Structures are given as C-alpha cells and as structure tokens.
Structure 1
Amino acid sequence: MNKPLFIRIVDKLASEVPYFQQRRDATGRLGLSTLQKCTAAIRMMTYGSAADAFDEYLRLSETVALSCLDNFTDSVVNLFGDEYLRRPTPADLQRLLDEGELRGFPGMIGSIDCMHWEWKNCSTAWKCQYTRESGKPTIVLEAVASYDLWI
C-alpha cells in the first residue's frame, strides 16, 4: 500500500470513527494513536500476524489488536464501501476493456494470478504443513493486476 493511500485511510478513520480518535485516559495520558491502531490491523491482514505480535512493536495487547482489526474492517467497509466495494457499472467495464485492449490484452477486465514461491526460511516446525510434491516448503503468492492499482 502506498503512503498517501494509507494516510488517507488513517485520516478518514480518525475524523469519522470515534474508536480511532486518540483520547486521554483517566490519568490524563494519551491513549493509542490512530496510526498504531491502523498499522496493527493492516499488518494482521497483510502478513497474517498473530494478534499478540504487536505488544512490543506497537505497544498493543492481543485484545486491543483484535479490537483494532474488527473496528478497522467494519469502518473501512462503511466509509469506503460505496466507492470501492460496488459492482462495476457498464461504463467501468467498458473503460477497463478499452484500457486492456490499448495494452495488448483485448477482452481482459483484470487479472488474478498465483504461484508457489519457495519459502527458504520456513521454520522446521511448519515445514511439513507447507511442503508439496517438490519436497520444499512454499507459500502461495497471489497478485491482482490492474493498470490503475498504483494510483
């Protein structure tokens, strides 16, 4: 995720969702920042990190990290769902088809691809869970390709 997009999400959550607004506790100390909460949620989704992995990095307990993830997903769907989680209109589809044709892929709206990537530093305890016919542990790398994802 690029930085401007991340900051846009953080700013929108901080301004519209009370859970993500930094407040003072009963002793007057500042609570967790919006950046801490959003970073924890995004890292859990992106890397599949356990909720208790943020206790030293972001100073969040397991319970708070899970609460951040729950509030983050609900809030993003509520705030950005109408814009990004809608069905494409005929105009959207035509624009994607035209762009695909310009780039040498006629009839393509988007592309999803995946591959098995060798996991060189896989722990011994997990090796058998991630090993296929090749005898080497792999993870699945999935990619969505669209000309406008970098924006």
Structure 2
Amino acid sequence: MDTERLLRESYARGFPGMMGSIDCMHWEWKNCPRAWKGMYQGRSKIATVILEVVASQDLWIWHAFFGTPGSCNDINVLQRSPVFSDICEGKAPEVTFNVNGNTYNMGYYLTDGIYPKWATFIPAIKHPQTGKHKLFTKKQESYRKDVERAFGVLQARFAIICQPSLAWSTEILWKIVMACIIMHNMIVEDERDGYLHYDATEFINDQPQNVAESSTSNNNQPFTVRSGRLDRLNLNGYMENRNNVRDRETHIALKNDLVEHIWGRFGNE
C-alpha cells in the first residue's frame, strides 16, 4: 500500500489521516456441510461466510480478511481480524497528521455505527442536530460508500462471488475470494490514472492560508510518513499500542476536530 498517496487523497477529500473505509460482506455458502450449518448461518437461516475489506477511494482493496462464519457480526469479525496487527506489533508506518490544530499519530477508518468507539474508527453522527454535525455526517456517509462500491464492483466483475458458492470447503472459498481481489487490484492499478480526476498536491497548494497553517506545523505539509518500525515484539509495547488503538478519548477528540475541520472547509458551500 502506498501510504503517502492514500493520505494525500484523504486530505484532498477533507479527512486528513483517513486510511480508507472498512466493512463486511456476506457470501452465501450453498454447499455448506450440514454439520457446519449451525455455525455458519445467522438470523437469515442461510449459511454465509464473511469477507472484511478496507478500500480506498479508487476502490483499491488493501486489506481483506475472509473465512469467519456468517453467524458472526462485524464486531466478532473485528476481534479476529489482523487489520491492526502491524500497529500493535510496531511494524506499521508512522503516520503524523494535524486536524484543527491538534496532532495525531495514527490513521483511522470510516465506519458505520456498529463499530466500537476506538481511536482508529470514525463513524457518522447518529442523530445530527446542528449544521456542523449534519455536514460532517453527510461527508462521512458519502465517503464511506467507497467500500460498498468496492464490494459492488468486485461482484460485478466476478460472477463467481456474486452467486451462492458451490464449493465444499472454506479453503477453496478463500482461494476464490483472494484470486478475485488480486485481479481486481490489478485492474484498479492499471486504470487508476484514468479515473482520478484531481491532483491532490495542486489541491493542497491552492488551499487558503488559514487551512494550510491549521493542517500542520511542519513545512506546510498535511502529513508525514515514516518507514515501518521493525522493533522486536515485546508484551508491554504490544499492549500499549493495542490500548492506543482502542482509546475512546482519542476517538472523541479526533471526531470533534474533524467536525470543526469539515465545517471550516466546506461550511460555506
């Protein structure tokens, strides 16, 4: 994943530090063995297998976790997912960005309301009342559709995952899904320059002075990215990173800063 490019696109859209949108999709498993059906079927009484995906604006899928029984919800999938493994183990690239005059050092994902209030998740406001909250919710919900579009394009391109699966094992299902995602990303990479209609660097340079100053205090750049940290894994460091990912106070502060940032940037439209 090109972290710098991803963050540049996120800044151009008004969400500094956004790493993409995360969500889950159910794939019906028609030939699920009878002995496993109770484990793989939920309220719909249909056996399904869940695919968790993180997608960026250009529909590039850079995280995919597949194989969780369909009876689980998004939260159960999240507890098993390796999406934050690199962060907890100290191997993820260091990301620093500034929002509303405050500095943060961890990217975040746009989610729906079911995800927990962690520092790495930013959902919409459930019942927006003020103009600021309504504008933030409108922007968040429109940009979070990236992952839904990615699911739709993936199924439109590969009919095999649009129809109920006829395979007999989860290993075969996993191979099918991963092959489709790899080919999907190859198509996106080949066509990316054709449907990105803006240059984020030009957009940043054209920003008003107050926006540029509020975005950072380091050479008028909206963010900085350092190479991945390869420190030896230790329990104390792992638990500290894990707690930072799940920090509720950081979630609230970042969300409030994003509300102000979105209002200051798009409030006059």
Name the structure where strand makes up a greater proportion of residues: 2
Normalising by structure 1, report the TM-score.
0.39
Normalising by structure 2, report the TM-score.
0.25
Greater relative contact order, per chain length (Cα 8 Å cut-off, separation 6+):
2
